[in-house]
Structures are given as structure tokens and as C-alpha cells.
């Protein structure tokens, strides 16, 4: 842990009393000529989301991109995504999902100014970014080393309010086909965070739908995709009619969280 402080991204918030964070997730940018994603124009939908963030979220301190950045992990797909995100002026951080290749993601996105650093400190908040990529399949896992990293980071930041970000949902969302692709060791995850009362929120993507629950005073937040959405409560794959979206999170210096999902008015 002696070198942990050397790996922390230090940010300064625009408002000394609150932090404004934007989460975008599951952008699923396609490789030219590659596999499609349900015939959906993921590039155009992301551009719509980015344009709204640029015009309506100018006070945002940072943006988290929480996995499935691309549909197939190729260098060209990551570069295509980076070329879209370049219009955003606030700091950007990304973590991998099941469609990503973590090392390739970090290399290409990092070369284009999108940070794959796993620890962020801003104001009296710490944000811990976790890798749930299991290497194969669509379900997620937190490796032993990742669980140790989480525990050590929470201990290190015991004087900060903490927000944890990951890709896979760590608990059931009552949708059997999606729950079969959840975090397969969610109990291990909760066993750790239940030991720390300074954990205030957990955010994830993957589920392509809105989810919000409070568990042991911790906000659990699943966020819709910047492309197509999945219909909640279904036993089999079904597409919802809801439009592309992102989540806005306001975290104040007392450890409180206010959040809202913003849906784009039209879809491609």
C-alpha cells in the first residue's frame, strides 16, 4: 500500500461543497464491417448523448465510462470511441466490461486522454474503479487480487466518502436472463463493503436499464446504456422502447448522493 498514493488521480471540483459526476456506460461502439448490435446505430446514439452533456452538463467535474466501451475489442473500435469522446473537456475515466479487452482498452484510450486509473480523489470523496472482466463469457467476477485491492483501498480512504464503480451488477435485478450474467461473486463484494460505513454508493452498467436501491445506507445504481435499452423484469432478452441515456450524480461534502438518469429525447 506504500505506493498506492502514487496511483491516485487527484482532481479539484468546481464547487467546493459538491462534486458533479456523469456516468456513461455500454457504448458498444462497433468496428467498421464487424458484428452489429441488434442493428442499432451505437455511434449516432453516443454522439447524441455527448452533445447533450456538452451543452447541459458544463458544471460536471468528471465522467466515468463504466464498461462495454466497444462491442468487439479492436484497436480501431477503441480509436473510434476516443475520437467521439475527444469533444468533452472534463476528465474521463474508464473501466472494462465483458465486451472489452482491458489491456487494449487502457492502451488505446490512455493514448487519447481517457484514463484507466482505478483510484480518483476529489474533494473529500474517493472513487474506486473495479475490473469485473472475467476473460470469457458475459458474466463478471472480481478476482482475489481485485477484492484485495477493494479492501485495501477502502481502508486507505477511510477518511473519505467512497463511491465504487464497476461494470457488472452485484445483485439480482429480477431479470433472469440478465441475472445469469451478473457478478458471480457479488456476496464477496458485499462482504467487504459492509465492513465500511464510508461507502456511500455503488454504480454499474451492463444491465441497459435503470436500477436504484438502498442497501445498508448505500445507494446501488444501475445505469442505462448510451445505445439500446433492455426491458426490465424479463426472463428472456427483450429490447425496451426507452431512449439512450446517462446518469448524473451529485455528491456533497456530507456524503449525500443525489442522482438522476437523463434520457435523450430521440433515438437514432
- Mind giving me the DSSP string for the chain? -TTGGGGEEEE--SBTTEEEEEEE----BPPTTS--STT--HHHHHHHHHHHHHHH-TT--EEEEES--BSS--HHHHHHHHHHHTT--S-EEEE--TTS-HHHHHHHHHHTTEE--SEEEETTEEEEE---B-SSSS-B---HHHHHHHHHHHHHTTTSEEEEE-SS-SS--S-HHHHTTSBTTHHHHHHHHTT-TTEEEEEE-SSSS-EEEEETTEEEEE---SS--BPTT-SS--B-SPPPEEEEEEEETTS-EEEEEEE-S---
> What confidence tier does 7 reach under pLDDT thresholds 50, 70, 90?
confident
Residue range 80-106: average pLDDT?
96
Tell me the pLDDT tens digit for each residue of 129-152: 999 999 888 999 999 999 999 999
Tell me the pLDDT tens digit for each residue of 197-211: 999 999 999 999 999
Whether 70 contacts 42, CB under 8 Å: no
> What confidence tier does 266 reach under pLDDT thresholds 50, 70, 90?
low
- pLDDT score of 1: 44
- pLDDT score of 167: 98
Residue range 49-60: average pLDDT?
96
- pLDDT score of 40: 86
> What confidence tier does 115 reach under pLDDT thresholds 50, 70, 90?
very high
Q: What residue ranges define each of the domains in the chain, with the CATH number in brackets?
A: 4-263 (3.60.21.10)
Amino acid at each position: 500500500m506504500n505506493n498506492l498514493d502514487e496511483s491516485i488521480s487527484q482532481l479539484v471540483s468546481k464547487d467546493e461543497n459538491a462534486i458533479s459526476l456523469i456516468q456513461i456506460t455500454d457504448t458498444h461502439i462497433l468496428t467498421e464491417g464487424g458484428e452489429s448490435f441488434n442493428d442499432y446505430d451505437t455511434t449516432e446514439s453516443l454522439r447524441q448523448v455527448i452533445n447533450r452533456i456538452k451543452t447541459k452538463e458544463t458544471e460536471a467535474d468528471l465522467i466515468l465510462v463504466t464498461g462495454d466501451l466497444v462491442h468487439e475489442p479492436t484497436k480501431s473500435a477503441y480509436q473510434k470511441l476516443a475520437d467521439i469522446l475527444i469533444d468533452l473537456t472534463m476528465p474521463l475515466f474508464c473501466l472494462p466490461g465483458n465486451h472489452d479487452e482491458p489491456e487494449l482498452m487502457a492502451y488505446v484510450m490512455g493514448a487519447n486522454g481517457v484514463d484507466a486509473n482505478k483510484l480518483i480523489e476529489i474533494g473529500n470523496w474517493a472513487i474506486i474503479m473495479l475490473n469485473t472482466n472475467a476473460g470469457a463469457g458475459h458474466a463478471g467476477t472480481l478476482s482475489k487480487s481485485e477484492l484485495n485491492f477493494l479492501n485495501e483501498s477502502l481502508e486507505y480512504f477511510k477518511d473519505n466518502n467512497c463511491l465504487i464503480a464497476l461494470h457488472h451488477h452485484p445483485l439480482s435485478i429480477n431479470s433472469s436472463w440478465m441475472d445469469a450474467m451478473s457478478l458471480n461473486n457479488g456476496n464477496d463484494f458485499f462482504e467487504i463493503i459492509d465492513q465500511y460505513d464510508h461507502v456511500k454508493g455503488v454504480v454499474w452498467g451492463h444491465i441497459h436499464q435503470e436500477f436504484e436501491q438502498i442497501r445498508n445506507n448505500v445507494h446501488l445504481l444501475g445505469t442505462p446504456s448510451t445505445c439500446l435499452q433492455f426491458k426490465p423484469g424479463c426472463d428472456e432478452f427483450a429490447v425496451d422502447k426507452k431512449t439512450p441515456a446517462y446518469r448524473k450524480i451529485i455528491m456533497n461534502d456530507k456524503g449525500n448522493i443525489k442522482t438522476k438518469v437523463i434520457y435523450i429525447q430521440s433515438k437514432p
